[in-house]
Amino acid sequence: MRQPYWTNGPSTLYLGDAREVLAELPAGSVDCIVTSPPYYGLRDYGVEGQYGQEPTLAAYIETLQKTFCEARRVLADDGTLWLNLGDSYAANSDGWARGADYNPHQPVVRPRSRLSVPPKNLLGMPWRVAFALQEDGWILRNAIIWHKPNAMPQSVLDRVSTRHEMIFLMVKQQRYWFDLDAIREPHSEARSSTRRTRCGGKPGGNVRTSRHLDGKYQDDRDAFCGKHYGNAMLPTGRRHAVAHPNGRNPGDVWSISTRPLKAAHFAAFPIDIPLRAIAAGCRPAGTVCDPFAGAATTALAARQLDRSFIGIEISEPFCDLARARIVAAAAESSPEEPEG
């Protein structure tokens, strides 16, 4: 087992290839994985062995399949995987090279995706990867749309601009840890009024309803939930016509603004995403892993929620950036605590 690049209490960073480091971690040692691998053909991080610059679509998918095969082994049986992936287009008509007005962080030579599909095609990469992982045994539970209200404008005239990315929730088995109450949203005033009426004028009280489970009727929603799921998502059915006293299910469209990071890592997702994923998908005092740690946004969310963190990053400068952000966050939350 390699030595950590840096560790301090609940946070640990490893420098290296995600698949290689995951292969060295003990089986079942993390409770939740929240990650966003490099997207296909969009960024050149200038690191040997970087992901996202594979020559073909199939090669990129195979790389992620092998990586998440190791991730599946490391994840606890009742753990959850939250995978954020953005899409990209096949190369434009001038070949595989970028145009003069492209972002300088984009690769000079793009992967030869046009060998697989004609130019200007949306590759559908998130779904290609999701289906490949599904074939490997992952259970695909949700396809969440991350809507970006402040998405960057795009200078395109023959299609509408892209304002979303995908977040897939995947698990290893049918029963897993999921705390829906932790991410419920407040009811609107109109919805709250409806809830009071349907609950017999007792806002905040237990909702009692009848349901059928394995040939038996259960009358108390809280008892059912506690017995079978812990603080987990309730089964579906007509009983959801009654508003839950703790708030509404946030649904599978998350409207979350991007947050520019004035540092070397230019593709960090907003902390709101890992905060929500960890709150719902990681048991209290559990361990969160991000195999593509980048600027350690997932680590900051894990620390806020009192979870341990294991991060893997192939770029040493990004490891240094991640360490600096974790230390700074720790200093802000506990000014008298030594940085370590």
pLDDT per residue as tens digits for the range 246-288: 999 999 999 999 987 766 555 578 999 999 999 999 999 999 9
Residue 156, pLDDT score = 87
Over the chain, what is the mean pLDDT? Answer: 82
String of DSSP letters for 119-173: TT-B--HHHHHHHHHHHTT-EEEEEEEEE-TTPPP---SSSPPP-EEEEEEEESS
Beta-strand (E) ranges in the chain? 6-8, 11-15, 30-35, 75-85, 139-147, 164-171, 208-213, 216-220, 253-255, 287-290, 308-313
pTM (2 d.p.): 0.80
Nearest to 2 by CA among 15, 10, 247: 15
Residue 197, pLDDT score = 35
How confident is the model over 149-168, as pLDDT tens digits?
Answer: 998 888 889 999 999 999 99
CATH code for 6-179+250-333? 3.40.50.150
Query: Among 57-66, 114-123, 269-278, which is the least confidently predicted range?
Result: 114-123
Two tokens at 143? 């396809």
Q: What is the band of 326 on the pLDDT scale with cuts at 50, 70, 90?
A: very high
- Whether the CB-CB separation of 247 and 184 falls below 8 Å is answered with yes
Q: Which residues of 266-304 are buried (b: 16+ CB within 10 A; e: fewer)?
A: ebbbbbbbbbbbbbbbbbeebbbbbbbbbbbbbbbbbbe
- Amino acid code (one letter) for 248: R
Q: What is the mean pLDDT of residues 230-258?
A: 74
Q: Which segments of the chain belong to CATH 3.40.50.150? A: 6-179+250-333
* Cα distance between residue 180 and residue 129, in whole Å: 26
Q: What is the mean pLDDT of residues 11-28?
A: 98
Residue 244, pLDDT score = 87
Q: Is the pLDDT of residue 96 over 80?
A: no
Cα of first residue to Cα of last residue in the chain, in angstroms, is 22
User: Taking CA 26 as the corner, what is the angle to CA 24 and CA 28, rounded to the nearest 5 degrees?
Assistant: 135
